[in-house]
């Protein structure tokens, strides 16, 4: 219910607001999308009255945001509260400008699986068939790729140093001029990357099993000169694939995957743990701010999977949608984004 304060206008009314809309011959000032909240002033020219709702607050949890596409979205990254990108199937690229998402021109129809933003004028995206795209501040353009293998993850340390991983153990390195193939210690599919520095990085993946305990996980470590197969504690119930990783500090990191499969980094080794008692669950995306504040998204047999890490356990958070969720990114503890299948976009905070 909206509470209103009635003010009768007997003199000339001056309005200073850059968000004005009309409906049923009435003037609304202060918001153009009422479903997302905002303060609205309603002016009725028939009786010269202004109706002031006390407050129409935005939701405090995850809520649906209008999407310009119905294609599945696989990754989302933000460079600031007012600048961000999401990419997905069929070459879909959409852009956040601080107030809405809109479709951007894409040079490919291949599925795009991940992206990384260096700044407002420099971003990268990777996808199927060896697709590599780069944003130059005005357009996305296809970049030369040394492979036609499906590429799943990208991480840029800076403009002259970056990494891409993909299927069949594919690893590519950016030297500031070109992408080159790099020696890989595995033939397993690799899905995600994370770095704390140019000599401390991780890559995760594996191959898919068809029953609990089937398949295997893959954990690689970059030591500054080479990628090595890194030992970790195996979970008996692991389905194999570790889809995403977020290393927050030298002594804490999380890698999540399928079934019961999860790994926690304590600064010495990766320790297996059970992120959820639900076996039929897949974690696709993870985003951490601190070792006691993180989010994960994915799929479970009851529906969509959204969980929050409080430092001790994963808490299940209600989702306003049913489609599979593919990625999550947090700007801070009160602002974040989730994307997923069917063009799903969710926002956290105002």
Same domain, 21 and 141: no
Q: Select the more confidently predicted residue: 345 or 29.
A: 345
CA 107 to chain centroid: 22
The pLDDT of residue 235: 53
Which pLDDT band, with edges at 50, 70 and 90, does 261 fall under?
A: low
pLDDT band at residue 260 under the 50/70/90 scheme: low
Tokens of 113: 């699986």
pLDDT at 51 over 50: no
Reported as a pLDDT band with limits 50, 70 and 90, residue 221 is: very high
Q: In percent, how much of the chain has pLDDT > 70?
A: 74
Residue 32 is predicted with a pLDDT of: 42
Confidence (pLDDT) at 38: 43
Do residue 32 and residue 90 come from a single domain? no
Structure tokens at 169: 């153990």
Which among 120-129, 259-268, 293-302 has the top mean pLDDT?
120-129
> Are 89 and 35 found together in one domain?
no
Quickly state the pLDDT bin for 258 (edges 50, 70, 90).
confident
Residues 196 and 88 in one domain: yes
* Same domain membership, residue 254 and residue 178: yes
Same domain, 174 and 66: yes
Assess whether 41 and 77 both reside in one domain. no
Same domain, 79 and 39: no
What CATH number is given to the structural domain containing 110? Answer: 2.130.10.10
Computed over every residue of the chain, the mean pLDDT equals 83
Return the HEC string of 237-293: CEEEEEEEEEEEECCEEEEEEEECCEEEECCCCEEECCCCCCCCEEEEEEEEEECCE
Q: State the pLDDT confidence band at 46, using cuts at 50, 70 and 90.
A: low
Question: Which range marks the domain in which residue 334 is found?
Answer: 62-348
Q: Are residues 191 and 308 in the same domain?
A: yes
Share of the chain above pLDDT 90, in %: 62
- The more confident residue out of 35 and 131 is 131
Q: Do both 245 and 130 map to the same domain?
A: yes
Clarify whether residues 39 and 13 are in a common domain: yes
Q: How many domains does the chain have?
A: 2
Give 225's DSSP letter.
S
pLDDT of residue 278: 53
Average pLDDT over residues 103-124: 98
Closest CA to 91 of 105, 114, 110, 77: 110
The whole-model pTM stands at 0.81
Instruction: Give the C-alpha separation, 236 to 213, whole Å.
Output: 5
* pLDDT tens-place string over residues 157-210: 999 999 999 999 999 999 999 999 999 999 999 999 999 999 999 999 988 655
The pair phi, psi for residue 130, each rounded to 5°, is 75, 15
pLDDT tens-digit map of 294-327? 999 998 766 678 999 999 888 889 899 999 999 9
In this structure, the answer to whether residues 282 and 324 fall within a common structural domain is yes
Q: Please compute the mean of the pLDDT values over residues 88-107 and round it to a whole number.
A: 98
Nearest Cα residue to 76 out of 117, 137, 22, 121? 117
Res. 233: pLDDT tops 70 = no
Q: Tell me which H or E stretch contains 133.
A: strand 132-135
């Amino acid at each position: 219910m909206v509470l209103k304060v009635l003010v009768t206008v007997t003199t000339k009314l001056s309005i200073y607001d850059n968000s004005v809309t009309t409906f049923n011959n009435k003037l609304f000032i202060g918001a153009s999308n009422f479903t997302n909240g905002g303060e609205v002033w309603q002016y009725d020219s028939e009786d010269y009255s202004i109706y002031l709702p006390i407050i129409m607050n935005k939701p405090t949890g995850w809520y649906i945001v209008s999407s310009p596409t119905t294609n599945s979205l696989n990754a989302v990254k933000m460079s600031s509260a007012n600048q961000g990108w999401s990419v997905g199937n069929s070459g879909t690229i959409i852009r956040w400008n601080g107030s809405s998402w809109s479709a951007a021109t894409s040079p490919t129809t291949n599925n795009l699986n991940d992206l990384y933003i260096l700044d407002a004028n420099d971003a990268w995206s990777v996808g199927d068939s060896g697709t590599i795209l780069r944003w130059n501040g005005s357009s996305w353009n296809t970049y030369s790729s040394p492979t036609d293998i499906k590429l799943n993850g990208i991480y840029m340390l800076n403009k002259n140093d970056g990494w891409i991983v993909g299927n069949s153990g594919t690893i590519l390195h950016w030297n500031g001029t070109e992408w080159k193939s790099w020696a890989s210690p595995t033939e397993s599919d690799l899905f995600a990357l994370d770095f704390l520095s140019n000599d401390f990085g991780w890559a995760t993946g594996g191959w898919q099993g068809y029953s609990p305990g089937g398949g295997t996980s893959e954990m690689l470590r970059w030591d500054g000169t080479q990628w090595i197969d890194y030992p970790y504690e195996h979970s008996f119930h692991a389905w194999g694939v570790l889809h995403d990783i977020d290393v927050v500090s030298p002594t804490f990191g999380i890698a999540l995957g399928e079934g019961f499969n999860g790994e926690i980094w304590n600064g010495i080794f990766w320790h297996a743990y059970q992120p959820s008692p639900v076996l039929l669950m897949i974690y696709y995306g993870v985003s951490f701010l601190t070792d006691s504040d993180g989010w994960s998204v994915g799929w479970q047999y009851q529906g969509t999977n959204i969980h929050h890490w409080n430092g001790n356990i994963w808490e299940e958070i209600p989702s306003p949608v049913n489609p599979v969720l593919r990625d999550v990114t947090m700007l801070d503890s009160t602002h974040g984004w989730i994307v997923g299948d069917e063009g799903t976009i969710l926002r956290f905070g105002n």
